[in-house]
Amino acid sequence: MLISKILIKSGSMLIIHQLNLELRGFMKTSRISRVIQLLTTLQSGQSYGSGDLAEILKISKRMVFRDLKELRKVGIPCSFSNKAHCYKIDPEFFLSVPNLDAQEALSLLLLTRKARNHIYFPFRDSALRAAIKIESKLPEKTKRFCNTALEKISIKADPQERLDLLDQKFAQFLEAILDKRVVAIHYDSPLERENIVTNLSPYHLMYNNNAWYVLGKTELDKKVRVFKLNHIKNLNILDKCFVEDETFDLSECLGRAWSMIPEGRLYNIKLRFLPEVARKVADIQWHSTQTVILQDDGSIIMEFRVDGLNEITWWVLSYGDQVQVLAPAALRQRVIEIAQNMVRQNT
C-alpha cells in the first residue's frame, strides 16, 4: 500500500493530509508524485489551463484529465472555469465533518487503512475516499494522534475468501432487496455438486466465516435458502417484484446452525479439549448455546446444541488430536471415518 503526504492549501490554512493512494492498486509512486504536484499547482491561486498543466508536469493533456479525475474521486472539487478558461479549486474549499474525538477518528481510520485489505467488505474504495474527506478536516492534534497510533497497530486477519466482482454482486443484490425485485441466479453448489438455476427473492445479505452470503426464498422449493456470493456465477435482476415473507426472521432462519446452514435436526454436542488448546478454545464464543466446564487436569468440556453436523464436523477436525468427541455417536463416527481416510491417503 502506497502512502503519500499531500499538502492542501485552503485559504490561509495549510492542511497536512496523510493520504492513502492505493486507488485500486495500480497507482505507481511516479504518478502519486505527479498528482501531488497537480494538486499543489491548482492550490497556488494561479490560473492554469490543461495545456499549462501539461507543460508544468511534463505530461500529455490526456494524463492531466485522468489525474484531475482522480482528484475528484477523493472529493477535491477541481472545476473548469469557462470564463477564465482554466482549472481551479475553490479557495474556500471546506469539508465539514462531525466533531470526532481521538478514539472515534482512530476507529474510522483503523477500519479504512488497516482492515480494508484483510476483510472483503463491499465498496472498499468508496470507504477509503470517505475517510480521506473526513480526515482532511480533523484537528491537527487528532490527526497526529491517529497517525502515531496507526504506526503502532497491525492487523493479521484469518485467510479470506477472495470474491471477484464483490462490489458488483453486492450492489445488485442490495438493489434487488431494497426494491423487492426477483433475481435470476446461476449457482454452482459444491454441497449438492450441481448447478442450480432458479429465481430468488432476496431478503438479506450477511458476512460470516470470511465469506458473503445472500438469504432468500427460491422458486424451486419455496423455502428460504442461503447462497454464497462467490458461487453465484451469473445473476440478473428481473422486472418482477416479490412480497417479502413477513414471518422471515434471520435468527430463526439460521436456527441453531453451527455457522450458516441448518439441516433440520438438533444434536447435543459434547467435546473434550486437551489442556494444550483448552484455554484458547474457551476464550472464544463459538455458538449461542455454548457451555464450558474446566476440568482438574486443565482440559475443558464444551457443549453445544447444534442444528446439523456437516459444518461442525470440519471445525472439530481442525483441532486434530487435541479434541475428543464425547457425543453424539454420529459425530464421533464421522470424525473417525475422515481421520481414517486421511491416514490412508497419506501412507
CA distance linking residue 151 with residue 271, whole number of Å? 41
Q: What pLDDT digit, counting tens, does each position of 84-142 carry?
A: 788 877 655 654 556 788 888 888 888 777 766 666 677 777 777 777 777 777 888 88
Per the model's pLDDT, the better-predicted residue between 3 and 181 turns out to be 181
pLDDT of residue 160: 64
Name which of 134, 29, 129, 18 is nearest 69 in CA terms. Answer: 129
Question: What pLDDT, on a 0 to 100 scale, did the predictor assign at position 39?
Answer: 77
- Residue 317's identity, in one-letter code, is L
What pLDDT, on the 0 to 100 scale, is given for residue 280?
94
Please state, in angstroms and as integers, the Cα–Cα distance from residue 166 to each residue in 26, 211, 266, following that order: 18, 10, 34
pLDDT-derived band at 45, boundaries 50, 70, 90: low
Burial of 130 (0-12, 13-18, 19+ CB in 10 A): middle
The reply to whether the predicted model has a pTM over 0.75 is no
Task: Select the highest-mean-pLDDT range: 119-123, 219-223, 325-329.
Answer: 325-329
> Over the stretch 61-85, which tens digit does the pLDDT of each residue have?
888 888 888 888 777 778 888 877 8
Domain 3-89 has CATH 1.10.10.10: yes
4 vs 102: which has the higher pLDDT = 102
Q: Are 135 and 102 in contact (CB under 8 A)?
A: no
Closest CA to 184 of 198, 166, 165: 198
Distances in whole angstroms, Cα of residue 320 to Cα of each of 158, 180, 191, 276, 280: 19, 45, 23, 12, 15
> 186-208 pLDDT, tens per residue?
998 765 567 889 999 999 999 88
- Joined together, the cell numbers standing for residue 132 give 480521506
End-to-end CA distance of the chain: 44
Q: Are 260 and 311 in contact (CB under 8 A)?
A: yes
Listed in order, the ranges of the chain carrying CATH 1.10.10.10 are: 3-89
Name the CATH code of domain 266-345 (choices 1.10.287, 3.30.70, 3.40.50, 1.10.10): 3.30.70
Nearest C-alpha neighbor of 203 from the set 262, 234, 249: 249
Distance (Å, whole) CA 95 – CA 315 = 48
**Percent of the residues in the chain that have a pLDDT greater than 70, as a whole number:** 82
**CATH 2.30.30.520 in the chain, residue ranges:** 166-254
**Range 166-254 classified under CATH 2.30.30.520:** yes
CB-CB neighbours of 193 under 10 Å = 7
Residue 274: partners with Cβ closer than 8 Å, 6 or more residues away: 299, 322, 323, 324
From residue 5, give the alpha-carbon distance in Å to each of 30, 39, 265.
14, 12, 57
